[in-house]
Structure 1
């Protein structure tokens, strides 16, 4: 039996009892207002009990179970840090109310009775939203204070700082494979966390009926195995999960907010969703674009022209890092390696694009 059905039964009994209690007065009121023939009291009690019981059966979940479920879902989406700062802000607001309560009580009725209650609500709410809204600045302030105390008493343990940094790993990053090379170079400090539901999604892709998806999933399994075998790469498969969320991307975002850690991914949609919710994202594609060699207008480079461009007379070549170079009037040099001069460099969402012309 579900909790919602139990609440409906309890509401039916409670509201029915209330209807029975008020049935007599309700019947007298109806007789006076409608001028109808008086009926036995038991009729009014039964009628009122039935109406109230039906009403209680319908509305009880909306005033008991559903608000609790909604509150529980909202609280599960909040990080522990947000909850702590919210409680601290509420306590600060109530302490200020306590200091102001006695002076306000001396004003006499009705202000002396009303203002302390109003100030408790207003200051408590202001303290809560202020500390939640400014939690990043406050966290930075407390961190700086703790570091200064540590520097006065001795050196800071750098290994504990690295261990406290955690990075959630997305399925797309594991399948991509470049995470192993990046982690091996040491550019990902701290602990790599692979949630169990990400591993389950990777296994689901590996068991797919589609041959391409199956190969990608198995490649991801091999990359994850290589990461675990490398003793210099701290990686952990964790059972941490979130309740009430089914989609893997949504669970990653909620978990990142709760743990206050970034997500490592190259999924564009997950990147956008996480950024909209204030979660930091480490995008491998953006890293790859950032470390590509930069050519400035006027520089010359050897380029092999391998195909036609979109516009008439253009030729297209590629640099070693995969950057596309569009060569004006390069059609006649297809299949040849020539020296070209860069004329323009464009940075797009898909990457860097270079325009050049033959020397």
Structure 2
């Protein structure tokens, strides 16, 4: 509705400019025109056409600005607004002497042209300067803030917004990251993610319905806990799927896409977007297991190969143990022989630790018993001592 109204207003303004612009033409040129009303109609049509083009351009610019405003931090928004106002103020102060100059009728159009160009130039300059150096104002309003001082000096970079993928919301580990303080900055939930979670919650499949409801419940709880930090972006981007829309939102906001989808992370990296793969973060934080490490492991199930058992470490890493297929449910001492790292996780290979000490002790005790029997023959087999 707003876009249509903008186009209509621009077309009417262009048509009126073309219709009334005939009066600004030189009189010598008007004297050569046989049909002034036809000239007005033609110029009005051209004005409406160029007004339509300007309206389309202005509508796209308005939508882009609205997307940035919705996801922009408050301090940056205020600094940009102040920079734009100061730029326009400087432009109008410089224009005052020019507008008061008496100019001939033939070059009177220089005044409005200079007004438009100067306002655009100084307004854009003030906006850009505020975007780069606007955070220095934090020192003026709060000089005792160490964080504001570091940001103003460029030593500390402001935290980027985190755009959540549906997989991260369903995963559930987002709460732990926020509570621990690992994630900084605004947390943005796109409208397409909420729509996808709602579709999952309304699914006839019980598993999908459970995941969708769990994701919506988590977002509701986080919204109550982090009131202003969690932001819902209601902008509806065009795209084939949720992945394309999330990439467009990440590009517009300059934030970091948080996901557990390996393919989405790689496509976003290919487009030079900031990505944080939660699966890779979890893998990087796991404790290192080196070949030769010994520990107790409970065998949970059978392995794929013959005579293999499978157990799990405390962090969820799968351990494949050779020769443990018959020991399911038991806790065995194992020795790590190697590890395999892949994009989806890590697999540790181990073998059963041989129990040699108990076997050697038992063998030694049996040998001593047999040796004692040989060294002390029974009394019935002893030869009688010869009498003297």
TM-score of Structure 1 vs Structure 2, range by shorter chain:
0.5 to 0.7
From 204, 208, 217, the counterpart of 2:212: 217
From 4, 14, 19, the counterpart of 2:17: 14
The reply to whether residue 54 of structure 1 matches residue 37 of structure 2 is no
CA distance in 1, matches of 2:14, 2:126: 37
Pairing of 1:126-141 with structure 2 (within 5 A): 129=128, 132-133=131-132
C-alpha displacement of 1:214? 2.2
2:303–2:325 Cα contact (<8 Å) kept: yes
C-alpha displacement of 1:257? 8.3
RMSD of aligned Cα (Å): 5.8
1:325–1:353 Cα contact (<8 Å) kept: yes
Larger radius of gyration: 2
The one-character-per-residue Cα deviations of 1:301-343 (angstroms, maximum 9, x if unpaired) are 456483237xxx996744233323467xx4x665556733333
From 138, 144, 147, the counterpart of 1:146: 144
Partner of 2:203: 208
Which structure is higher in RCO with an 8 Å CA cutoff and minimum separation 6?
1
C-alpha displacement of 1:6? 3.8
CA distance in 1, matches of 2:212, 2:147: 49
Partner of 2:62: 72
The one-character-per-residue Cα deviations of 1:199-257 (angstroms, maximum 9, x if unpaired) are 554333211345542232133345557x479xxx8244978545564677757985998
The one-character-per-residue Cα deviations of 1:82-104 (angstroms, maximum 9, x if unpaired) are 4444466779999999xxxxxxx
CA distance in 1, matches of 2:272, 2:318: 34
Pairing of 1:1-359 with structure 2 (within 5 A): 2-3=4-5, 4-19=7-22, 22=25, 41-43=33-35, 45-63=36-54, 65-78=55-68, 79=72, 80-86=74-80, 129=128, 132-133=131-132, 145-147=143-145, 171-179=166-174, 182=176, 186=180, 197=191, 199=194, 201-223=196-218, 227=221, 234-236=225-227, 241-243=233-235, 245=237, 250=245, 265-267=259-261, 269=264, 273=268, 284-301=278-295, 304=299, 306-308=302-304, 317-320=310-313, 321-325=315-319, 330=322, 334-336=325-327, 339-344=334-339, 346=341, 348-356=342-350
C-alpha displacement of 1:295? 0.7
CA distance in 1, matches of 2:34, 2:42: 14
CA distance in 1, matches of 2:147, 2:212: 49
Aligned pair in 2 of structure 1 residues 343, 246: CA closer, same or farther (>3 Å)? same
2:11–2:48 Cα contact (<8 Å) kept: yes
- TM-score, length of structure 2 as denominator length: 0.52
Partner of 2:379: none
The alignment partner of 1:295 has SS state of coil
Aligned pair in 2 of structure 1 residues 205, 129: CA closer, same or farther (>3 Å)? same
1:324–1:353 Cα contact (<8 Å) kept: yes
CA distance in 2, matches of 1:208, 1:338: 46
CA distance in 2, matches of 1:141, 1:318: 56
CA distance in 1, matches of 2:349, 2:124: 57
C-alpha displacement of 1:12? 2.5
Give structure 1 stretches of 5+ with no counterpart. 30-40, 98-119, 151-164
Give structure 2 stretches of 5+ with no counterpart. 92-118, 149-159, 354-388
1:274–1:280 Cα contact (<8 Å) kept: yes
C-alpha displacement of 1:18? 2.9
CA distance in 1, matches of 2:188, 2:122: 42
- TM-score, length of structure 1 as denominator length: 0.55
CA distance in 2, matches of 1:126, 1:356: 64
Aligned pair in 2 of structure 1 residues 350, 195: CA closer, same or farther (>3 Å)? closer
The alignment partner of 1:74 has SS state of helix
| Greater Cα offset, 237-246 or 47-56 | 237-246
